[in-house]
Each structure stands twice: as structure tokens, then as C-alpha cells.
Structure 1
């Protein structure tokens, strides 16, 4: 039976029936729809933008302690819904339970971090020493205004928390457009807003497809845009924002390397390689989908990978699995296209490569060996469980190959000598580099990339600064 939710548009502090074309939520493990929900219209965006502008004047002047209280309310509200949201993530995204639990914990931690950050005085940058003793200077961060937040389908709740928490903490109001594929989990933010008494207009949730995002960019009240998603869409958003010179944060794609040095522990390296490319079925912008391994340990590592991958359980998240399906049919089909390319190029397939399994949107964990640098599988972001491997001789060659990409989001370095591994990490052009550890991300760290991987940073103080402008005040001493 398909559940139906008509009141899926959150405006002025309450849910309203959506007048846009209805969408279906699909279980990617079965390929079947399990819910139907209404969507917003461009008129709803106009209403939300006007409401956000009215609310901004009061929200920005609210004592920081009050804004922090609301942020902690979001964290508590997510925790209260923990089991329901985990189950929904498993059903709508195809995430194994452990991954869904991690996602929820990340979102909760993000709201609490920004509550603590602004309550600790992060918006007041303090006094500035001036060259003339007759004057005194101080700096503060002032919120931009109503912000358009556009989030993807691979990490609902999490990417929203990364944007919504610092936006509200800084004093901005927000219009949120969740992905049309994973809207239902995001509606929890509207439910929590009602429960905690968030003032009307501070948050609007506008489900729908690309026309909703375009309407948000056209709304004259919007003063900041934050987007996470593909480079193609990011380019269009940047172009639209440029018409009004709106500040933009873009968290885009990646083709991240994992560099395994000649002194690496083989078992540890194999674990990190698999985690880096198969977590969330490879649907993660920081997926380390390029394995650059020193030829001295390449054969041993490849053998260990073959053994480990053969033991991976892939299937419905309701079972005991290591990897679930891809979230959408379109993404499954895109990955299948790369597997066809690999066959046409005659790539050496270590495992997988045969495509779909079962009735849902599954792709087997796949590894190709000695992939040429000219191959699309080496150069392009696949966003699926596909690993490309190249052997190199020495650290210099590894660093050069790691940096030979249009992207620069993330990287991992694995080596026995921490000093040597960190020296390699220092020379890799990426916004976040892990050394001998899994891809763990804390709210206190920064997130964002170099080159085509985006503009700006999320998380940490940089995430807060992304929603505020620096104001300098000069007075007589």
C-alpha cells in the first residue's frame, strides 16, 4: 500500500497541501514506490521568500542564546525520531542500518556544535589594533539574510544540517529545497520547527524538482545560496546567482585518490580502500575511487581486496549487509553506463563489472586494474561502487598522479611511517585528507574542495562564516 502525504510544504510555521505535481518515494531495494507526496509551486517559493524576509529582521536580532536554544531543539527533535528516521533512510536511500545511524548522529552533532559555537562568541570577532592610536576598531559577523539551501539525495538530514544549522546560528532565515528523491526524511525538520516554536518564516521547506530551486534563485529576497550536488547543476546555479551577485557556496564533485605507500599495512589498507569507495554504495562526493598503490605492495593489496570484496554482503538493508542498492534508478543506470565503457575499453576487471543484481537498483562492488589515465573511469566521478587502480613507483609519482585531476575534494594516504604519510598528505591538493584512518568527519572540521570540487567551506567556523559578512566598526579611541 502506498502512503499519501498531501501536506508536504512547510510555510509560515505549519504544513500546507502542495499544489505541485506529486512525487513518489521509492524503495531502491525493490524498485517499488512506498509513498506519494505533494510538492511546492513557484508561488509557494514567493510566499516563503517574503515570509523569510519579514522574519529576518527579528531573527537576526534575537539573542544568540535564544538562537542556540532553537538549534539544540532541532538536535533533540532528531534524537526523539531516531528509530523512525533510521528506518526511513534504510527504506528510501537503501542505506545499511549502521550508515543510517551514522548519518543521524552527524546531523544531531552539527546542530549542537553550532549552538555551542555562537553561544561562545564566534560572531563577535573582537578588537582590531589600528595603526593610529586615536582610533579603535572591532569586527563582527552579520548575517547575509534569507538563504536558499539546496541539498542532494545521497545524505538527507546530514547535508541539510550542515547548511541549516550554521545559517540559523548566524542569524539567517532559510528556504530549504530537499531532493525530490528523498524528501520525506527532510520533512522532520518542519515537524521539529513546530514543536520547538521556531518563529514563522525562519524556515520553509519546499519539495519539488529543479523549477523550485530556480524560483528560489530568482526570488529578490534571497541573499545567499548554498548548494550541494553535481558540477553541472552547480554551474547553472552559479550563473543564475551571478545575475544578482549573490554569495554562493558550492559543494560539488570529486574523484578522490587513496594513496597506499610501500610501507603500508596491507590489511589496514584494504579496509580503508573498501570503506572509501563502497560506503553508501559509492554515492559520496569524497569517495576515494582512484587507488594509487606503490608497485612494491600492489599485488598483495589487490589479493587482499579480492578476498575482502568477495565476502561483502550486498542486498536489502533489512538484512545483515555491508552495502545496499544505489538510491535511484537513474544513478544505477548511469553506473551501468560506465561498466559498459569499461568493457568497450577492455579494462581488466578484478571483481564485479557485470551490472545489476536483483529487482532493485543494485550494482556489485567493482574493481578495475591498471586503468589508463585517459579512461573515463579514471577521470570522471561515477558516484557508485566502482574502484579504478593504478600502480606507481615511489612517493613522487604517487603525489603527481593524485593531483592529476580536475577535482580536489578529499584524499586518503595509507603508510606505515606516519611522518612519511603526513608528508605525502601535505602535498596532495584536497580540502580534506585522511591519514591512516577512515573518512570520519567532525562538525569542528572544515568541508569543501579545491579546483572543480567547489567554492567555500561547510562545517567548522568556515561554515558559519559562509552565512555572514564581516563588518568592521571604527570609532575614536
Structure 2
């Protein structure tokens, strides 16, 4: 039986029904779940922004302990509802049930982490150069935060934006991707039950028009965006032009270097996990595998062997390792890019010529890729990677650093010398040694360099830099 979900916006504590503008179906079983999504547009975004602004004073008056308690309750309620949330994520986005479960618990822990940070927003106090005066520095909330989140981590990324925004005293206008709106609505129900003042978090659904309205809304003081590079550049330009604070996390063409001395089992597992799991739909996924030529054939054989034990199928099943792409539009995009790579005449280790039903795309590995290939330049955002054969560490690093992106980079080696050199030479915001390029901790900073990121880091204590502004007070007793 088909389940149909009709979503409503949530503004100033009230559900706001609207006309259906978009539809998302279970990408693995289109007749299983149909989500009807409205479009907020400029008028409702303005109402949401005003509601968020009206909530700032009562939110501040409630105090930091109430703020911490609310965040902790959200975390506990996510954990208590993890099974239902995980299944919804799998049905809506095609993420495997195992991955969805891990992501859901990660979201719960993010809210719990920031419940503590709400109580630890310490400032400074020191003597002034003027006799009898003191100087105090506090980290005050920016105001209203506009949050635009993607579909590939439909509960974790909203968590790592909403939780710090609230922890440091901001209120929120949140637009999720239209591909993951049902998950957003489920999270909003939990947030709405946490005891926050009405209007602290406002959920507006929609696509580009609603995102554009958030970027242009003068009552929104800061915009945090995660998504594609093209849209991220536009967001940054629009928000910067009106003088608001902006943070954009975009793509990556992430490289994994495999040296001749690497543990081959670790290298193969890191490559397969990073490139193909989550159907390659992670901004930290491995796109480029840079392997020392002396072990390249053995590495390829290892990857081929490992892929024989990978299960592709219905994401709702426990045994599934790789599910479908999130939508038919996403599959068309990936297929178009892979067709360009095929036309380059690169040898295929596996996958590229295969055809799969519905929104599934075969894990694909191209061999003997050169620096001029599309695989070296652009993010595909699917289970596709290229193998680059290199001559030693220096050649690998030179090729790794050619990319205009710099989100995540990995190295597989037994050499402490090369590991130390990699930490200093790799142009990326996050470095993984003997680990997949994808996979991060919720309490550590997240972000890259180059065309991957703009603005302060997300996650962990680093998140305070974006969601607060320093306020300096000079005080002398009257």
C-alpha cells in the first residue's frame, strides 16, 4: 500500500498548510512512499523571519539552562525515535538502513553535545590600559540564522546547523531539500516538542525560489548553506552583497593516496568505502584514487575482490551495502557525467557499461585516469571513481593538490615520514590517514579549503565562530 505524506510549513509554532509544489518518491520503490511538498516563497519566508526575530527576546530571557535542557530533550527524543526516523530516511532518500541508523544517532549526539556547549559559552575579562577600567569580551548571538540543508544527510546536517544556532542564542529559519522534506518534518515535530519559545525554529519547504528568498530576506542575519558548488557560489554572492554573514559548504573531488608501503587490505577497504558506499553521495566521498604504480595492479585486484562481497539493493534491508541514488534527476545527472568520462576512452575496471533498474547506478571504477579528465576536475556525486597511477609520494602529492577543491584527502601508508609530510602538504581541510576520506566525528571541526568551503568551520566548538559575534565592553565604576 502506498503511503502519502502531505507536508505543512511550521512558522511561529503553527502548521501552515499550502498547495503541493513538489513530489518525492521512494527512489528504490516509487509506489511505497509519496511525499507532497509545498513551496514557501518570499511571503512565507518573510513571515518566518519575523517570527524568528520576535522569538529572540523570549529565547534570551529563558536563559542558558532552559536552552541546554531543550537541546538535550531534542537529542533524547531523536534517539528514542531512531528506528522510525531511520526507516523514513531509507524510504525517502534511498540511504541504506544501516547508514540511516548511524546518521540518526549522530544527530542525537550532536544535539546532546551542543546542550553542553550552551552552558560553556565562556568569554574573557581582563584589565584595561586605562586605570580603574576593565574589559569584557562576550560571544553574543548573531540573530536570525537562515539554514539551507541538503538531502544526502537529511538529519545530521540539519542537526549540526540547528543545534549550534540555538545553543548560542540564535533563532532559525530552515529550508531543507525538497528530496528530504519528510525527514525534516519529522525532526521539526521533535524540535517543536522541546519547550522552546514559539518561532525559535521555523521550517519552510521548497526549492530554489524559497532558498533565494532566504538569501535576500533582510531580517535574516546569517545564512549557512550546504549543497552544490554552483548554488553555493550564488548564495555567497547574494548574502554578501546585502552585508549579512554567510557560510557555504560545497563539493569535493577528494583524493586518496595509496603508497607502495600501504597495508593493502586497509587501502582497499578505505577506497571502496569512500568511493562507493552511500552510493557516492557524500561531499567527502573519494573521487580520485592515486596509487603507486608498483602496486596498482594488486590494488585493482583487491578492489575487484572486495566488490564481489558488496550487496546492492533495497535500502530498507539490513544486508544492503549500497542503495539507489536519491532521485531520477540525480541518476540522470550521474549518467550524463559518466558518459563524458567513457568518451575519454579510459579503461574500465568495473561498472560503467552496466545498466541498472530504477534509480540504481552501478559502482564504477575507471583506470589510468589523467589530470585532464572530468574525474580530476568535477564532482560526480555518485558511486564513481578514477584510479590515477603515480610514481611515488611527491608525484602523488602534486596531483592531489592540483584540484581547485580541498575538502577531504586521504593517505594509506606505513611511513611516519610520509604521514607527517602529508599533514603539512595536502591542501584539504580534513585529512584521513589509513581511513576513508568519508567519515567524520560530530565533535570535531568540519570544512575545507579552495572551492569546497567558505566561512568558519562547522561542527564541534568551532561552530561558535559562525553563530556568535564578539562584543567588547569597557567598564569603569561610576
| Pair in the same fold by TM > 0.5 | yes
> 1:107·1:161 contact (CA, 8 Å) conserved in 2?
yes
Q: Which residue in the other structure is 1:475 paired with? A: 475
Q: Which position in structure 2 is the counterpart of 1:246?
A: 244
Tell me whether 1:25 sits opposite 2:8 in the alignment: no
Show the 5 A alignment for 1:209-288: 209-288=207-286
Distance 1:211 1:260 in 2: 43
Q: CA deviation at 1:201?
A: 0.6
Deviation at 1:338, TM superposition (A): 2.0
Structure 1 residue aligned with 2:382: 384
Contact 1:413 1:425 in 2 (8 A): no
2:195 corresponds in structure 1 to 197
The residue aligned with 1:349 is 348
Could you tell me how far apart the structure 2 residues matched to 1:355 and 1:332 are?
Answer: 13
> Are positions 1:81 and 2:66 aligned together?
no
Q: 1:423-438 alignment to 2 at 5 Å?
A: 423-438=421-436
2: distance between equivalents of 1:314 and 1:36?
24
The question of whether the paired residues in 1 share the 8 Å contact of 2:226 and 2:248 is answered with yes
Verify the 8 A CA contact 1:14 1:194 in the aligned structure 2.
no
Aligned to 1:62: 62
* Counterparts of 1:422 and 1:440, CA distance in 2: 21
CA distance in 1, matches of 2:461, 2:415: 31
Question: 1:464 Cα shift?
Answer: 2.2
Q: Is the 8 A contact 2:86 2:97 kept in 1?
A: yes
| Match in the other structure for 1:396 | 394
CA distance in 2, matches of 1:193, 1:336: 38
1:301 pairs, out of 289, 299, 302, with: 299
CA distance 1:372–1:8, shift in 2 (3 Å): same
SS in 1 for 2:286: coil
Q: How many angstroms does 1:291 deviate by?
A: 0.5
How far did 1:452 drift? 0.3
Report if the CA contact (8 A) 1:167-1:173 is conserved. yes
Aligned to 2:140: 142
Q: Secondary structure at the match of 2:174?
A: strand
| Alignment equivalent of 2:167, drawn from 169, 180, 192 | 169
Three-state SS of the structure 2 residue aligned to 1:187 is: helix
Aligned length, in residue pairs: 473
Shift of 1:133: 5.7
Provide Cα deviations, 1:219-244, integer angstroms capped at 9, x if missing partner.
Answer: 22100000000011111111211231
1:431-455 residue CA offsets vs partner (Å, 9 max, x unmatched): 1111112443222210011010011
Q: Is the 8 A contact 1:225 1:247 kept in 2?
A: yes
Query: 1: distance between equivalents of 2:37 and 2:359?
Result: 24
Q: Which runs of 5+ in 1 are unaligned?
A: none
Equivalent residues of 1:56, 1:145 under 8 A apart? yes
> Aligned partners of 1:241, 1:381: CA distance in 2, in Å?
24
**Most deviating of 233-242 and 189-198:** 189-198
TM-score normalised by the chain length of structure 2: 0.95
Cα displacement (A) at 1:311: 2.6
Q: Is the 8 A contact 1:13 1:193 kept in 2?
A: no
1:136 Cα deviation from its structure 2 partner: 2.4
Q: Which moved more, 1:22-31 or 1:155-164?
A: 22-31
For residue 442 of structure 2, what is the aligned residue in structure 1? 443
Deviations 1:243-290 (A, max 9, x none): 311100100010011011121010110000111111210001011210
CA distance in 2, matches of 1:432, 1:325: 27
Q: 1:336 to 1:129 in 2, by over 3 A?
A: farther
Distance in 2 between the 1:369 and 1:109 partners? Answer: 40
Deviation for aligned residue 1:419:
4.5
> Does the C-alpha gap of structure 1 residues 402 and 199 become closer, same or farther in structure 2, counting only changes over 3 Å?
same
Aligned alpha-carbon RMSD (Å) = 1.7
Matches within 5 A, 1:26-45: 26-32=25-31, 34-42=33-41, 43-45=43-45
- SS of 2:179's partner is coil
Distance (whole Å) between structure 2 residues aligned to residue 132 and residue 262 of structure 1: 62
Q: 1:78 to 1:99 in 2, by over 3 A?
A: same
Unmatched 5+ residue regions in structure 2? Answer: none
TM-score computed with the length of structure 1 as normaliser: 0.95
